[in-house]
Amino acid sequence: MEKEIWKKPLRQCNIGGEALIEGVMMRGNNKMAMAMRKSNGEIVVQTYEHIPVANKFFLFKLPVIRGAVNMLESIIIGMKALMTSAEEVDIEEEEESKTDKFLKKIFGDNMFRVMLYFSVAVALVFGIGIFMLLPNWIAGWFAFDKSTPLGSMSANLIEGALRVIIFVSYIFLVSRNKEIKRVFEYHGAEHNAIYAYENKEELTAENAKAHTTLHPRCGTTYLFVVIITSILLFSFIRWRSPLVNMALRLALLPLVAGIAYEVFKLAAKTGFKPLRAISYPGLLLQKITTQPPDESQIEVALAALKAIVPEDNPEDEPEAEKDDAPEGEAV
């Protein structure tokens, strides 16, 4: 594992973001920026003021609660950013099918956005079914007494192991797709850019490219910590019918996300190696979800980053957000 991952950065910051379709979103310092490269080579940058929900309500700054809030907010912001990038990036036009013409007649100019929202809804249902329902259902096949404490714990651990296998397999399979691979390259570019900023280097593609694409604050690592936390927490819950099991897991998801967030943040900045070990599986998974970018992709990531950091005097930037005010931590 690269030594740079655990090296203390010269500049502490909570800037993070997300890879988009032919672009990168960066978030921090109460700003959000999206940079996208169009087919003509032009980089388009859109900048917005963004005050995290946790900075607006004191209750949302409390430990555990802030993690659940931050996860939900990140999902919403990420989905909107992906939709925006899909609309902005030039896509080769093909002859419209009868279905396209019918949908366009109904939704007009909003057809593309409606279809995107529909795709997101389908993806969420699919995700819940594959990553939550399926492991629970398969674990129920094992023929042993699940009514006892030991049997219940065993069934929950089997379910958790299946969830890890399905999650890793899914990531591996989608990475084979050419378009997804491009997104993973922009993910790598995002990490390269943030490393250059954290090390107080001039924000150039050459400097950024010298860094690793693996980052301890990456959302991939956080998701893996969420899965591990869910396995440990659910193992103490009595095994019931599939429907009740599902309801309990959905109800406890905010708690799982909150606990995982606290562990994730601590593991990302601690020098205590046993605690760091929690991040290792997620860092290994980043070898799939981040790919080496080319300089043109890094330029896009840097354009988004420059839009949210002070230009003239970087040393005068606001102090990194405190632990009670999460903002863009997952990169």
pLDDT digits (tens, 9 = 90+) for 129-167: 788 788 988 998 888 888 888 999 999 999 999 999 999
102 has a pLDDT exceeding 80:
no
> Are 53 and 73 within 8 A, CB to CB?
yes
Tens-place pLDDT, residues 35-77: 999 888 899 999 999 888 888 888 888 899 999 998 888 888 8
Measured CA to CA in angstroms, residue 127 lies from 119, 148, 228 at distances of: 12, 30, 17
Which is more confident, 86 or 32?
32
Closest CA to 221 of 162, 303, 279: 279
203 has a pLDDT exceeding 90:
yes
> Are 214 and 6 within 8 A, CB to CB?
no
In sequence order, what are the residues at sequence separation of 6 or more whose Cβ sits closer than 8 angstroms to the Cβ of residue 191? 211, 212, 213, 214, 215, 218, 290, 331
- The rounded percent of the chain whose pLDDT value lies above 70 is 84
Q: Model pTM?
A: 0.84
Helices (H) and strands (E) in the chain, counts: 12, 4
Q: How far apart are CA 149 and CA 235, in angstroms?
A: 10
Which is more confident, 87 or 90?
87
323 has a pLDDT exceeding 60:
no
Domain locations in the chain? 103-312
Q: What is the band of 97 on the pLDDT scale with cuts at 50, 70, 90? A: low
What DSSP line would sit under 122-168, residue for residue? HHHHHHHIIIIIHHHHHHTTS-S--SSHHHHHHHHHHHHHHHHHHHH
> Are 298 and 237 within 8 A, CB to CB?
no
Question: What is the pLDDT, as a whole number, of residue 204?
Answer: 94
Question: What is the pLDDT, as a whole number, of residue 107?
Answer: 63
pLDDT averaged over every residue in the chain:
83
24 has a pLDDT exceeding 90:
yes
E-assigned strands of the chain?
A: 16-20, 23-28, 31-37, 43-49
Question: What is the pLDDT, as a whole number, of residue 275?
Answer: 80
Q: How far apart are CA 182 and CA 33, in angstroms?
A: 20
Which is more confident, 29 or 226?
226
256 CB neighbour count, 10 Å cutoff: 23
95 has a pLDDT exceeding 70:
no
Question: What is the pLDDT, as a whole number, of residue 322?
Answer: 40
Question: What is the pLDDT, as a whole number, of residue 325?
Answer: 38
> Are 212 and 5 within 8 A, CB to CB?
yes
Q: Give the dihedral sign, CA 177/183/186/188.
A: negative
Question: What is the pLDDT, as a whole number, of residue 75?
Answer: 82
In sequence order, what are the residues at sequence separation of 6 or more whose Cβ sits closer than 8 angstroms to the Cβ of residue 330? 16, 74, 217, 218, 219, 222
327 has a pLDDT exceeding 80:
no
Alpha carbon of residue 290 to chain centroid: 12
Q: What are phi and psi of 41, to 5 degrees?
A: 95, -10
20 has a pLDDT exceeding 70:
yes
Question: Mean pLDDT lowest for which of 83-92, 223-232, 315-324?
Answer: 315-324
